[in-house]
Structure 1
Amino acid sequence: MEYPPLYMAKQETTCDDILKELRAGQYRPIYYLMGEEAYYIDLISDYIIDNVLTETEKEFNLSIVYGADVDIATVINAAKRYPMMSERQVVVVKEAQAIRNMEELSYYLQKPLNSTILVMCHKHGALDRRKKLTAEIEKVGILFESKKVKEAQLPAFITSYMKSKGVDLEPKATSMLADFVGTDLSRLTGELEKLIITLPKNQTRVTPEQIERNIGISKDYNNFELRSAIVEKDILKANRIVKYFEENPKTNPIQMTLSLLFGFFSNLMLAYYAPEKSERGIAGFIGLKTPWQSREYLTAMRRYSGVKTMQIIGEIRYADAKSKGVKNASLSDGDILRELVFKILH
């Protein structure tokens, strides 16, 4: 499976490259996995835990510790041990960001054991690349930064993930999932696996109806349909969706809706500057994966002027602030969204 490119320091090695190297039995003394996106950190570390050693070898040669429970000296001592009845040992440090004095790892990196695979899982942050330690890690092993996936990358991620499982999705189904789940890849892949399990035998295509039935997303009342109604200036449909959102706030949080609308109208503003106002021209200019995704932008450009688009972006920002309590003492999220949609459509 091809994963979205989340690069190392020199922008050369992706998560997929690391996994290919591991599958080929090519191991490094240290893998320092860091970044905001936990999914890729878990993907690589879990592969090492599950596949490098046999079940028998794991009994004596697999150590998994947590950063809050150990200091760097303990980690180094574990890495310096020699394997027992095995070619190598694996030492995994989860939540490594909790360890103090990480720079002391440099002493071990001067002469790391080739028989040890040390995996440091540093989530929700990263090492300072200006520090000497990062260069020392790269010299003998892998320093990988797992960056947060952007919303625009989600449809491609979903399509690629499901394709690797032999499953196809209708475009609307893909958009529904991306809009509903958001950029939490661990949660997203969990929902995708749930879909795969519930597919009828011999069926390999997921429809919006199946998403609605198995995940609980309404195929008619979701952010994707609200955006479509706003693009088409379908006032009745937009108000129906807003009312549904107000009645079901837990499954339709306003922050997710505002984020989607802000992203759309920000891209729409960019689309006005595209040299070529065609599907392909706009898709290339604003960075869409396929030309068909630009159809909504072409429709919106016929209904919203550049000046109106700028005003809408300002209104979305104002609504976001109000949803967080800024200059708002009484309005509910439903009231804020209803007011915003009214201002967009009129």
Structure 2
Amino acid sequence: MTDPGERLRSSLAAADQGAPGDFDSPIAMEALRATRVLHAADQDPFPAPSRLRVITIANQKGGVGKTTSAVNLGVALALYGLRTLVIDLDPQGNTSTALGVEHTVGTPSVYDTLVGDSPLSAVTHATTASPLLTCVPATIDLAGAEIELVSVVAREYRLRRAIEAYVHSLPEERRPQYVLIDCPPSLGLLTLNALVAGDEVLIPIQCEYYALEGLGQLLNNIDLVRAHLNPGIAVRTILLTMYDGRTKLADQVAEEVRNHFGDLVLHAVIPRNVRVSEAPGYGQSVLTYDPGSRGSTSYVEAARELAERGAALPPLEPGKAPAGVAPPSYGDLSASTDSSTENR
């Protein structure tokens, strides 16, 4: 009789090669997906980036998946061998909750770095998801940070300088390869700090017609930051979230976003999945809460694609845009928004 473990391993190998395996029932396929995530360390790691990638995850619209994407992309990158730091810049502290990091009042947090003099190393905490994943939590104190930062000299550069100092303080083998910054749903001083600190922007876009409304203001702000504060920043990645394959609406919005943003849009799409919403309640990412769910495997594929793009990036000179990489043209966003309104 064939060993079940051997059958599972052969089915995993067959699935990776696009061939049908021995396990072709829905339950078996979920087991295959779970095994692939749970045993990530035994698989080929994601390719390492050619340089440190500081990715700002921003969208002033709430409820589009910024925090969920920051958490699950961070966990996926770490599970597949990449040193990752997630910075929670939202006073609600949802990223900290999902990663199982304490963020009650008095906990050393990003607030102490932005407003005080604490180095980032003093407020960085380990997570339960992976030894390669660390987190800088946010506490409710951060809610008043924008007011406190008004009178601070070079207030827009506080986070960028903290990240640079932190990276250079570590030996090369311990330096993060990815820094993901989760922004609040606003275009205030906290988000501005994140845009100045980042080298690229990832925008999660919900697969609904309201998705593009207001996005033009974010893109305009990114252009202003690039012109006056951070020449290297630009939108490099669009991630479609909350995709409901049962509706034509989701397909229409996804097609419109892909037509508008082109190659910036990841091929991987994050579906609506109850497991993704349940996981934070247990202080986990969906990858550790239910590794066999479609939400989990979708985030793994999105992280894989993100990592593959990072492996081909040219070196980044301080204060300059990447050589050979021009800021993308976003076109006339208002035209897309208008057409969306007409199609409702």
What's the TM-score once normalised by structure 1's chain length?
0.30
Where relative contact order (Cα < 8 A, 6+ residues apart) is larger, the structure is 2
What's the TM-score once normalised by structure 2's chain length?
0.30
